[in-house]
Structure 1
Amino acid sequence: MTTRSSPGIAVGVVGAGSWGTTVAALTSANATTRLWARRPELADEVNEQRTNTRYLPDFTLPEQLSATSDLADIVRTSDVIVMAVPSHGYREVAREVAEHLRPWVPIVTLSKGLERDTQQRMSEVTIEEMPGHPVAVMTGPNLAKEIMAGQPAASVVAIDDPRIAGALQRLFSTPTLRVYTNPDVVGCEVAGVVKNVIAIASGMGLGMGFGDNTRATLITRGLAEMTRLGLALGGELGTFAGLAGMGDLIATCASTQSRNNTVGRRLGEGESIDAIVESMNMVAEGVKSCPSVIDLASAAGVEMPISEQVVAVCHDGRSAKQALVALMDRDAGSELG
Structure 2
Amino acid sequence: MAKVAVLGAGSWGTALSIVLADNKHEVRLWSHRPDQVQAINETSRNDRYLDAPIPDGVRAYEDMREAVADVDAIVIVVPTKAIREVSRELDGLAGPTTNIIHASKGIEPGTLKRVSQMISEEMPHYSYEDIVVLSGPSHAEEVAWRQPTTVTVASLNEQKAKHAQDLFINESFRVYTSTDLLGIEFGGALKNIIALGAGISDGLGYGDNAKAALITRGLAEISRLGTSMGANPLSFLGLSGVGDLIVTCTSTHSRNWRAGNLLGKGRSLEEVLNQMGMVVEGVRTVKAAHQFALEQKVEMPITSGLYQILFEEKNPKEVVEQLMNRTKREEMDDLAKLLTERYSH
Superposition TM-score tier, normalisation by shorter sequence: over 0.9
Describe the superposition over 1:87-144 as per-residue Cα deviations: whole angstroms up to 9, x where unpaired.
1121011111113222232211111111122110000011111232420100000000
Aligned equivalent of 2:179 = 183
Contact 1:88 1:116 in 2 (8 A): no
Work out whether 1:123 is the aligned partner of 2:116: yes
User: Structure 1 residue 274 and structure 2 residue 262: aligned?
Assistant: no
Equivalence for 1:61: 54
Counterpart contact for 1:158–1:182, Cα < 8 Å: yes
Between 205-214 and 91-100, the greater mean CA deviation after superposition: 91-100
- Distance apart, 1:29 and its partner CA: 2.4
Equivalence for 2:292: 296
Q: Which stretch of structure 1 is more off in the superposition, 130-139 or 169-178?
A: 130-139
The count of residues paired between Structure 1 and Structure 2 equals 329
Say whether 1:201 aligns with 2:194.
no
Q: Could you tell me which residue of structure 2 aligns to residue 40 of structure 1?
A: 34
Does 2:46 correspond to 1:52?
yes
State how far apart, in whole Å, the 2-side matches of 1:260 and 1:20 are: 18
Q: Output aligned runs, 1:139-158, within 5 Å.
A: 139-158=135-154
- Secondary structure of 2:22's counterpart equals coil
What is the aligned partner in structure 1 of residue 343 from structure 2?
A: none
1:76/1:102 contact within 8 Å kept: no
1:306 aligns with 2:302: yes
Question: Where in structure 2 are the equivalents of 1:1-337 lying within 5 Å?
Answer: 7=1, 9-30=2-23, 31-57=25-51, 59-131=52-124, 132-133=126-127, 134-337=130-333
Contact preservation (8 Å) 1:136, 1:185: yes
CA distance in 2, matches of 1:176, 1:140: 14
| Letter in structure 2 aligned against 1:262 | R
Distance 1:23 1:329 in 2: 44
Partner SS state of residue 74, structure 2: strand
Alpha-carbon distance in 1 for matches of 2:70, 2:265: 48
CA contact (8 A) 1:38 1:69 kept: yes
Deviation at residue 28 of structure 1 after TM alignment: 1.6
CA RMSD of aligned residues (A): 1.0
The range that moved more, 290-299 or 46-55, is 290-299
**Counterpart of 1:308 in structure 2: which amino acid?**
S
Question: Which is worse superposed, 155-164 or 249-258?
Answer: 155-164
CA deviation after TM superposition for structure 1 residue 67, in Å:
0.6
Gaps of 5+ in 2: 334-345
CA contact (8 A) 2:187 2:236 kept: yes
- Find the aligned partners of 1:332 and 1:224 in 2 and give their Cα distance: 16
Return the alpha-carbon distance in structure 2 between the equivalents of residues 219 and 183 of structure 1: 26
Counting aligned pairs with the same residue, the percent is 39
- Which 5+ residue runs of structure 1 have no aligned equivalent? 1-6
What is the alpha-carbon distance in structure 1 between the residues aligned to residue 89 and residue 164 of structure 2?
A: 23
Residue 301 of structure 1 aligns with an amino acid whose one-letter code is K
2:259 touches 2:276 (CA, 8 Å); kept in 1?
A: no
Equivalent residue number for residue 3 of structure 1: none
Q: Which moved more, 1:145-154 or 1:218-227?
A: 145-154
SS at match of 1:81: strand
Q: Which residue of 2 aligns with 1:4?
A: none
| CA distance in 2 between partners of 1:162 and 1:103 (Å) | 16
TM-score, scaled relative to structure 2 = 0.93
Distance 2:253 2:315 in 1: 23
TM-score, length of structure 1 as denominator length: 0.95
User: For 2:22 and 2:186, how far apart are their aligned partners in 1?
Assistant: 30
State which drifts further: 239-248 or 90-99: 90-99
C-alpha deviation, 1:286, in angstroms: 0.4
